């Protein structure tokens, strides 16, 4: 049963985005992603690199959260996390994942499906070295996703780590680092008037080429 009201009708909006046709999109989803991401940054959209990461347990129970995209190229889309976290544990047990970018001012959405791999060693070390010391101490002190008694207990735990590492260069813990999602499918959604949106999907072929198709909105 669907229940309306509670101000939901007032949230309705019409989309006035430009057309997304096959000629403008091209045959390469990475090139289109690059153009759209650059336009989101230039808009500017706050946290244009904020992306919903969806994971699932081996038996298919899903979960989702927002992470920050920290790099991308044709090899994949990279974010960083505690490998002991819920998302880290789920990706270990089931490497299939999905990413969702949503940029309301541009009436645009990008979905990416793919497979996760861990960035061990130098890549994670290099990114860890660029982060503020306070952020790294928080990452070291927190057992992400694990229960803790209180905020005070969390702050006390951080204080112990700060005192333990005072005067020393921080070293990335092996439980924290990068994850790369290697893309196997893309979908680009452009909001259009009267809900007649443009949707273009790309699927990776065994020969590493891409097949593009238009999808009904």
Q: What is the DSSP string of 27-82?
A: S-HHHHHHHHHHHHHHTT-TTTTEEEEEEE-TT--EEEEEEE--EEETTEEEEEEE
**Residue 34 has which token pair?**
């690059």
The question of whether 195 is a catalytic residue gets the answer yes
* Closest listed residue to residue 72, CA positions, set 96, 106, 36, 22: 36
**Residue 20 has which token pair?**
């997304």
Tokens 């939901």 -> residue: 8
Confirm if 14 and 6 have CB atoms less than 8 A apart. Answer: no
Composition of the chain by helix, strand, coil, percent to 5: 30, 35, 35
Confirm if 90 and 57 have CB atoms less than 8 A apart. Answer: yes
The alpha-helical segments, DSSP class H, found in the chain are 22-25, 29-42, 86-93, 122-130, 133-141, 151-164
Which candidate in 74, 195, 199, 208 is catalytic? Answer: 195
Q: What are the catalytic residues? A: 195
């Amino acid at each position: 049963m669907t229940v309306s009201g509670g101000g939901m009708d007032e949230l309705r909006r019409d989309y006035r985005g430009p057309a997304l046709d096959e000629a403008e999109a091209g045959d390469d989803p990475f090139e289109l992603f690059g153009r759209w991401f650059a336009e989101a940054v230039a808009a500017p959209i706050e946290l244009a690199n904020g992306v919903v990461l969806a994971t699932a347990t081996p038996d298919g129970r899903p979960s989702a959260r927002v992470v920050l995209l920290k790099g991308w190229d044709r090899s994949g889309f990279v974010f960083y996390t505690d490998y002991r976290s819920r998302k880290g544990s789920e990706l270990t047990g089931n490497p299939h994942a999905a990413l969702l970018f949503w940029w309301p001012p541009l009436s645009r959405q990008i979905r990416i499906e793919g497979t996760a791999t861990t960035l061990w060693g130098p890549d994670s070390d290099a990114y860890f070295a660029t982060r503020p010391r306070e952020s790294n101490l928080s990452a070291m002190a927190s057992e992400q996703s694990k229960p803790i008694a209180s905020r005070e207990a969390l702050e006390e735990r951080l204080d112990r780590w700060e005192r333990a590492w005072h005067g020393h260069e921080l070293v990335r813990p092996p439980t924290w680092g990068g994850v790369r999602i290697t893309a196997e499918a893309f979908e680009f959604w452009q909001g259009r008037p009267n809900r007649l949106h443009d949707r273009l999907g790309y699927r990776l072929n065994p020969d590493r080429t891409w097949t593009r198709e238009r999808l009904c909105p």
